[in-house]
Amino acid sequence: MSLQKVAAAKSSQAAAFIVIFAGVVAALQIGKLPPALPELSANLGLTLMQSGFLLSLVQLAGMTLALAVGLSADGMGLRRSMLVGLLVLGVASAMGALAHSIPALMFWRAIEGFGFLCVTLPAPGLIRKLVSEQEVRKLLGYWGAYMPAGTALTLLVGPLWLPAWGWQTWWCLFAMLSWAMALVLWRVVPADAAMAVQPAMQAAPVTAQVAWPQRLRETLTAPGPWWVALCFAMYSGQWLAVVGFLPSIYTQAGLSGATLGVLTAFAAAVNMAGNMSSGRLLQRGLHPSVLLGMGFLAMALGSFLAFSDWTASGPWLRYAGVLLFSSCGGLVPGTLFSLAVRLAPHERNVSTTVGWMQQGSAAGQFAGPPAVAWLASQVGGWQWTWTATGLCCVVGWSLSVLIAKALKAQRKSA
């Protein structure tokens, strides 16, 4: 390989990592809320149910618009969509800092959800265009860690920042980060029209030449996109419910400050290990359905250890359950991002398939936290949370079997 080609490959890989970092910045917007919930409850009078809806409201756009945003990203350009999303995130976070009521805060939270979609939906397809086929699975595994990375950072810094400077400056901080990330992405990632396409993809038809109704029909009539979307819903709803309420749960238990930040941040950060491991395990030939089954089994066991009355006398055993739930659960999203690329009906449907998967993920995240909050309010505590998460794990495991069948059918038709 010539020096010029080596330099081009390194430049493309660097651009792919910038795309991943942009996803982390978008995830910061989602993760900034959980550590702020105790302060918002004290200052604005948020109830437990309102906290659950505020956690999930950012997913309203994803639940209703993800497929449409995925379609438009395929048509308007992947890099351009990410730039628009980062700018919108900055504006929504800055305006949210000026909100003095719960409805206003919820409105700008919903707008953040739209910006989040514009950033995250095109990213897997953009990564695939930037790197070789040998690198794409590993980097998509890294991409799957964008959400826990952003959540962990906010959970770590939030308990230190918020008591000193308040939630409004917390919102302003992430507005500035979003705008700065937009500038970096604009400078480093090649323009859509100039982007180098990998040799294995050069024969693929240009996305813009195929009308969106056809791309939509192709995506929704294939079984694979449905299975990955539903599977992501079973994962994301329970993960956000458990990790999102950890600061509130531990605050009620008497923890605060640095201890609270470290424990909750580490619980989110270990999820990255599962995401990154999934990419490497897939590269080594482990079947995706096996990884999904392992992830859901670990989440079921972990949530039982974390919340059951049987472990009430062992706080560190409970925390170990949270770590098991989050770390091994990370196998699920990393695997699903790889599957979305593989089970897309055509190269032109990748962002649309990811959009449909994100719509399933958003539906899970929209329903999960309020459902768990409702259950906790009905039974007077978090001790039955494991039943709700366990049900999600059973459904997720069943969907992994259907995904295995879809992959087998795809290989036969190839």
Q: Which residue has the higher pLDDT, 63 or 99?
A: 99
Closest alpha carbon to 92 in 148, 30, 175: 175
Q: What is the pLDDT of residue 370?
A: 84
Residue 250 falls inside a structural domain: yes
Residue 289 falls inside a structural domain: yes
- The percentage of residues in the chain with a pLDDT greater than 70, rounded to a whole number, is 90
Q: What is the pLDDT of residue 198?
A: 45
Residue 162 falls inside a structural domain: yes
- Rounded mean pLDDT, 67-94: 86
The kind and range of the H/E element at 245 are helix 223-252
CA–CA distance, 377 with 20 (Å, rounded to integer): 37
Which pLDDT tens digit goes with each residue over 185-212? 999 998 865 554 443 344 344 444 567 7
Query: Six-digit token pair at 3?
Result: 């020096």
Residue 4 falls inside a structural domain: no
Q: What is the pLDDT of residue 88?
A: 96
Residue 197 falls inside a structural domain: no
Residue 338 falls inside a structural domain: yes
Residues 6+ apart with CB under 8 A from 325: 239, 242, 298, 299, 302, 303, 306, 389
Rounded to 5°, the CA angle 343-360-322 comes to: 105
Please identify which residue in the block is written with the tokens 């305006």.
95
Q: What is the pLDDT of residue 208?
A: 47
pLDDT bracket for residue 68 (50, 70, 90): confident
Neighbours of 7 (CB within 10 A): 10
CA–CA distance, 327 with 220 (Å, rounded to integer): 32
pLDDT bracket for residue 347 (50, 70, 90): confident
Alpha helices in 253-287 (DSSP H): 257-283
Q: What is the pLDDT of residue 202?
A: 40
Q: Which residue has the higher pLDDT, 72 or 393?
A: 393
Mean pLDDT of the chain: 83
Q: Which residue has the higher pLDDT, 184 or 13?
A: 184
Residue 157 falls inside a structural domain: yes
Query: Six-digit token pair at 95?
Result: 């305006």
Answer yes or no: are the C-beta atoms of 18 and 170 closer than 8 Å.
no
Answer yes or no: are the C-beta atoms of 368 and 221 closer than 8 Å.
no
CA–CA distance, 61 with 252 (Å, rounded to integer): 31
CA–CA distance, 378 with 236 (Å, rounded to integer): 23
Answer yes or no: are the C-beta atoms of 307 and 297 closer than 8 Å.
no
| Residue 380: pLDDT over 80 | yes
Per-residue DSSP letter, 59 = T
Q: What is the CATH number of the domain that holds 327?
A: 1.20.1250.20
- Rounded mean pLDDT, 378-406: 92
Q: Which residue has the higher pLDDT, 183 or 159?
A: 183
| Residue 80: pLDDT over 70 | yes
Which pLDDT tens digit goes with each residue over 363-372? 888 888 888 8
The least confident of 140-149, 320-329, 371-380 is 140-149
Residue 2 falls inside a structural domain: no
Q: What is the pLDDT of residue 207?
A: 43
Q: 386: burial class by Cβ within 10 Å (0-12, 13-18, 19+)?
A: buried
Neighbours of 326 (CB within 10 A): 29
Q: What is the pLDDT of residue 206?
A: 44
Task: Print burial letters for 46-81: b (CB count within 10 Å at least 16), e (below 16).
Answer: beeebbbbbbbbbbbbbbbbbbbbbbbbbbbbbbbb
Closest alpha carbon to 114 in 57, 61, 60, 55: 61
| Residue 175: pLDDT over 60 | yes
- Structural domains in the chain (count): 1
- The percentage of residues in the chain with a pLDDT greater than 90, rounded to a whole number, is 30
Which pLDDT tens digit goes with each residue over 95-118? 999 988 888 888 898 899 889 988
Which pLDDT tens digit goes with each residue over 279-330? 788 888 889 999 999 999 999 999 999 898 898 888 888 889 999 999 999 9
Query: DSSP string of 102-152?
Result: HHHHHHHHHHHHHHHHHHHTTHHHHHHHHS-HHHHHHHHHHHTTHHHHHHH
Which pLDDT tens digit goes with each residue over 1-39? 455 565 666 778 889 999 999 999 999 998 898 888 888
Domain with 155, as residue range(s), is 9-190+207-413
Closest alpha carbon to 96 in 108, 81, 113, 78: 108
CA–CA distance, 223 with 390 (Å, rounded to integer): 25
Q: What is the pLDDT of residue 74?
A: 65
In this structure, is the dihedral angle defined by the CA atoms of residues 188, 191, 192 and 194, taken in order, positive or negative?
Answer: negative
